Amino acid sequence: MSAQVGSHIFNATQVEGIYSRSLGLIGAFGAGVTGSDSAKLFLEFPFSLQRSRLAWSDTSRTSVSYFSGKEVFTAFPRFGRVEVSLYANDTVNHIFEGAFTGILYNPLNSSDSLKINGKFNSTYSVQP
């Protein structure tokens, strides 16, 4: 999982994926270091999303959150905007791959925003 977040480059050194059957959501969580701060990136979107389809945060339960040091930026339904493209979804080997782009906002100051462009490729575990 990697992303250009504002002027920062995020490269996850650890990535975990999870699919929740009960929620119908799949997500990836990445952790790494950006500059001298630890950073985390979380992406989730509906599992029913088919390959080559798009999901938007304004029409589905799609969200991205970025945490770096004390900063938090996020996009979720009716707050910010993120678009996810799914390139591969191997339901036998539990691997998914795609890209995301959007505008994330600071939830404490909605005039503070960051542009994000990233990609993900991860295995995922299946949960009830």
Sign of CA dihedral 90, 96, 99, 102: positive
pLDDT, mean of each 10-residue run, the chain (128 residues): 93 95 93 85 83 63 91 87 89 93 92 95 94
Does this model's pTM top 0.85? My answer is yes
| CB proximity list for 75: less than 8 A, separation 6 or greater | 57, 63, 64, 65, 81, 82, 102, 103, 104, 105, 116
